[in-house]
Amino acid sequence: MENVEKLAEYTLHSDGIDADVTISRSFGKAMPDYYIVLPVVNESMNIILKEIRAQLIREVPDKIQALSTELNPPLKAEFIQMVEEKMKKLLPSLGEQEYKSYAATLLHDMFGLGILEVLDTDPNLEEIVVNNSKTNVLVYHRSFGWLQTNQRIETEGKIENYAQQIARKVGKQITLLNPLLDAQLANGDRVNATLAPISQKGNTIDIRKFREEPWTLIDFLKNKTMTDELAAYIWQAMQYELSMIIAGGTASGKTSMLNVLIPFIPPAQRIITIEDTSELILPKFMHWVPLLTRLPNAEGKGEITMLDLLVNSLRMRPDRLVVGEIRRKEEAQTLFEALMTGHSVYATIHAETAQQVVKRLLSEPINLPDIEVSSMDIILSMFRQRRLGIRRVLELAEIQETTVAGQTVLKVNNLFEWRARDDTIQRSVSPSLKIQTKLELYSGLSANEIEADIGEKRKIIRWMLKYSIPSIEKIGRISSLYYTNKDDLLEVVNADKPPETLEGY
């Protein structure tokens, strides 16, 4: 008898489709199961839906054309209503929920991504993956990691059709001559697709889901991604305009961490963000100018690169400059030139450790001079433990200059480190030299006063954690009050009153 452990159950709602999900683990299976129950479309119903589809294409071609380029809520609701009316004439004995369910199924099949549309409504999923038509769809769950679903895209042609629908919606193409697609959907999801024979086992689609409510400092504290002491230390560094690189591997949480930390910036300062895909979400009240790169059109014209935006941003009087990811030599050069001319900069980079960040910046193809690399204040390394499905700050380090055999070399000094044995993030016993000196210079505080300031910030962070401050916006409000009305904020924190008692919260 098969030994099955049920892990979770819940229901998804997608444009009229109610889908029950059961997640379970079977003894001996390499991967847990994600079992989703969808409306059954038998052969007779399939014929009826095809007939309704043909009627709508003849009767309302303008609306069909509009839906093929943009699936906005009013258009979707109108389409579902039209389908329901036609179904009621053909099948008057069905229930209201069945009409809605079949209408939504046709909507997803004609203009969306079929079963992937339903999966995309699951807030617990980070990734949805189609490897080919011969294997089931896989999903990455926030709590349970990789899961195998009971759903499969029937043919390679259908996968290709879904990829082409995605491409059309973002003004791109994916064809046998151009078999790779990288796109961002209107809802923020990032999609990568490949066509055979480039992907040898069949056509693929990978959807990295955009989190509707971005991760917050409170989320990161609750799930032990970071500690309140580390958060307070970074807050202080950002208050006094120290610059930072956030490093890590793919999906380690680099951009999420950057988004979590930006609300610590004083509210009156101008923040310019530069990204390839729009992922950062700042509090609405902040002085924020988001810039986004653009690919060339079919004629090869109109491209706006990261470098173009970086150079332009320096003419926009930024107080803080945030770059989604450093990839190329020219981008790194411009960013570090901005840093050396007095701008506070924040960026992400692919590297596993602080030491690897330094090596990557010093080596080809980036190949920056030592003096520029040493101007970066802090490196924060993110780590994803795939076996346990956790993300942690691996280390927070400073870059120091030291002399070896008469030559100046760059050394990484860890100030905080994650300890795998007991899953804790500890402050290093080795003292900070560079950061401590800069903080004393920029703040006018003594070493003892700097520690007291960190303690004060820790108290505020613990208070926010206790009251589970719910959003980037609210955390940003409290951070803003720290800069503009600190005495009133501390009075509420010290009295352990709820945040709602704060004016301006």
Q: What is the pLDDT of residue 246?
A: 97
Query: How far apart are alpha carbons 135 and 204 in whole angstroms?
Result: 11
How deeply is 177 buried, as exposed, middle or buried, from its count of CB atoms within 10 A (0-12, 13-18, 19+)? exposed
**Pairing assessment for the beta strands 145-149 and 33-37 based on DSSP bridges:** parallel
For residue 458, the tally of other CB atoms under 10 A from its CB is 18
As a 3-state breakdown, the chain gives helix, strand, coil percent values, each rounded to 5, of: 40, 25, 35
Per-residue pLDDT of the chain (505 residues; tens, 9 = 90+): 468 899 999 999 999 899 999 999 998 888 999 999 998 888 888 899 999 999 999 998 888 888 777 777 888 888 899 999 999 988 888 889 999 999 999 999 888 899 999 999 999 999 999 999 999 999 999 889 899 999 999 999 999 999 998 898 888 889 998 999 998 887 888 899 999 999 999 999 999 998 778 899 999 999 999 999 999 999 999 999 999 999 999 889 999 999 999 999 999 999 999 998 888 999 999 999 999 988 887 777 889 998 899 999 999 999 999 998 888 888 899 889 889 888 899 999 999 999 999 999 999 999 999 989 999 999 999 998 877 778 999 999 999 888 777 777 899 999 999 999 999 999 998 889 899 999 999 999 999 999 999 999 999 999 999 999 999 999 999 999 999 999 999 999 999 999 999 887 7
Give the residue ranges of DSSP H helices in 112-179.
115-119, 156-169
Query: Can you list the domains of the chain with their CATH numbers?
Result: 1-212 (3.30.450.380), 217-501 (3.40.50.300)
Residue from 495, 456, 398, 423 nearest 235 by CA: 456
320-323 and 17-26: which strand pairing? Answer: unpaired
Distance CA 37, CA 76 (A): 23
CA distance 133 to 179: 17
| Cis ω before 365 (30° cut-off from 0) | yes
Q: Is 275 exposed, middle or buried (0-12, 13-18, 19+ CB in 10 A)?
A: buried
Distance CA(244)–CA(237), nearest Å, equals 9
Total-model pTM? 0.83
DSSP H helical ranges for 182-328: 217-222, 228-239, 254-261, 306-313
Please choose, from the candidates 346, 429, 356, 351, the residue with its C-alpha nearest in 3D space to the C-alpha of residue 383: 351
